[in-house]
Copies of this chain bind each other. A is one copy, B any other.
Amino acid sequence: MINGVSASLAEVLDGRWAHIRQAVRDELGAEFVTVPGETGDQARERVSRLIRALPTDVGVAAAFPAAFGGSDDPGGSTVAAEMLAQVDLSLMVKAGVQWGLFGGAVVALGTARHHEAYLRDIISADLMGCFAMTETGHGSDVQQLRTMCVFDEEAGHFILNTPHEAARKDYIGNAARDGRMAVVFAQLITGGKSYGVHAWLVPIRDADGNPVPGVTIGDAGPKAGLLGVDNGRLTFDHVIVPRDMLLDRYGQVAPDGTYTSTIENDTRRFFTMLGTLVRGRVTVGAAASAATRNALTIAVRYGESRRQFTAPGADREIALNDYLAHQRKLLPAVARAYAYAFAQEELAVTMSEVFALTEPDEHRQRELESRAAGLKAMQTWNATRTIQMCREACGGAGYLAENRLPGLKADTDVFTTFEGDNTVLLQLVAKGLLTGYRDAFGSLDGWGRATFVAEQVTEMVLERTAARSLIQRLVSAVPGRDEEVAVTDRGWHLSVFEDREKHLLESVIRRLRGGAATKKDRPFDIFNDVQDHVLATAKAHIDRITLEAFVAGIERSGDPSARALLSKVCDLYALTVIEADKGWFLEHGRLTPARSKAVTAVINDLLRDLRPHMRTLVDAFAIPDEWLNAAILREEPARQDAMAKEDDAVRATPTD
């Protein structure tokens, strides 16, 4: 299936964890692929069975310490999960809950005794567990969770309680059917004082699968997608939790109730704890883009074979991919898929490097959290839009479950709001860019905790990502006057992306300062009135680091044909991002009207240039046919042959 250039492209896309990608492709056959049209019960049963059947060497549990059977490879585990997303998103999410959220929290927030007691059974899936953070009343602002865990000094244990329905744990994966324990987040209270949110390891079901006394388990019921994931609800009625079940890496409670922590500030401590769980966001963004590549492969391959309407003078009808409107839909989406694949690879590499540091580096940790948040938001929104577009590009066939697109769409939809609501995440990204804010608070929590934030913001940073020297060289080579530069000049793209980010960020800072001076009595408005600018800034930032990752990625190919093709795809990515925001560039004098029109004309030229390579570009995603599992890909070519034969016969018959 994969020819010369496709193979070269696939090699670059597969990147550092190519061995893991190939192992997943080799080992997960048709029996692991999602089954369209199942009932909820059937899907849960199948996924529950398959998660225990996953081969252990495919890497989904790679992030665990080698001492317990993992391979200390967090990047590899996100890549394995990303591959699983192409097979079955329910299976991927269930794996993410078990090994990423549940197991990951035990590793990151627990200490040796927890690791020793539970990690082996977690890795083997003999102990299935939940990550019980979100409550019905609090999803984004998890610092305000209402579940209470109060230390009883006399009894020497904690009492875990759900005070009302808004504090019920909600949307919790593995809760409705399979989970035996849960990492439960709650407000820690000891000696009458609250120390903020901490986590405990709490049994929720006994060996027979029945809820333990004091724990009520509900089912979140039917959902838009992810039918194979048993999301549920947990309510605790004064449940006794032994003292040593507190996951106490960042905060400890002595038998006498004394609280200790190396991090004094409650907020900072909580966000440090959350920061250790960044892998979830990295994985979700990766999974969203992986599923998008499935959808694009289906739509592009269908568009090659499917024909509709006859061209004047032609024997056969026109292939969908020959229509400009179809190219306009599919090709920029293919270009974005390449861009995000490179950006995601860079993020996984960064995460691996940060996690491998022996000395914590707060600056790099923050940058990692910010980029993980931003790439999660941009990739998941892109998935929702692009899979929808692919489904429409396949016409009525795209609506049938047998053609896979409905499942990809429904299953990925939740990604825009889980592991952080995208709008909230983009605000975190913007704040991460404001050094003053970051230095003063040390966390990426909600806006508006203090009125003087705006005044603290003194400076903004714009840090380059991969291939810094290459990018600097390209930017420096751009002549002073834009009109002298071709719109396909890479240095021009880079400088335009960078300039937009810088200008937006400066504008946010200026407006925040202005607001701080004039709206002292309305502190909420200081932030709220610039929220649209803040979100635009965050998007521009992620666009910039994505383009930089693409530019760096091209350099990694040794095949000149692949590099040439990648360069055109990168042109298309950069120019369609510019075109989509041309209003801003024109408003701010960054584009003249003539140059703006030239951008559109060059995009149309690029579509013509890339038309013959559409199939090559999606073949390079290297998704096995049995994973695509779309009836139209199997059946449409034969139908077209039948019609062509019929037409030939008609033409060969003399008419009267």
Contacts and interface: CB of A to CB of B under 8 A. Distances in A.
A451 B312 contact: yes
Contacts of A164: 639, 642-643, 646
Given A325-B535, A586-B593, A396 B418 contact: yes
Interface in A402-430: 402, 405-406, 409-410, 413-414, 416-418, 421-423
Contact of A223 (B222, B401, B524): B401
A49 interface: no
Nearest to A534: B325
A239 B523 CA distance: 77
Given A223-B400, A396-B418, A138 B308 contact: yes
Given A313-B523, A448-B311, A604-B532, A413 B396 contact: no
Interface stretch (A4-12, A56-64, A139-147, A333-341): A139-147
Contact of A146 (B323, B523, B643): B643
Contact of A421 (B224, B395, B406, B587): B395
Given A144-B317, A447-B309, A646-B146, A388 B384 contact: yes
Interface string A424-453: 000000000000000000000011111100
B587 A596 contact: yes
A395 B417 contact: yes
A27 B524 CA distance: 46
A324 B528 contact: yes
Task: Specify which of A36, A528, A581 lies most central, judged by the most chain B CB atoms within 10 Å of its CB.
Answer: A528
Interface in A295-346: 308-314, 317-318, 322-325, 328
A423 B423 CA distance: 30
A402 B640 CA distance: 43
A629 to B, nearest CB: 13
Nearest to A168: B639
A137 interface: yes
Given A311-B524, A325-B423, A37 B589 contact: no
Interface string A128-139: 000000101111
Interface in A545-571: none
Given A314-B524, A323-B531, A418-B396, A583 B596 contact: yes
A499 interface: no
A487 to B, nearest CB: 14
Given A164-B643, A401-B224, A309 B523 contact: no
6 contacts: A137-B643, A171-B396, A220-B400, A324-B532, A398-B417, A399-B414
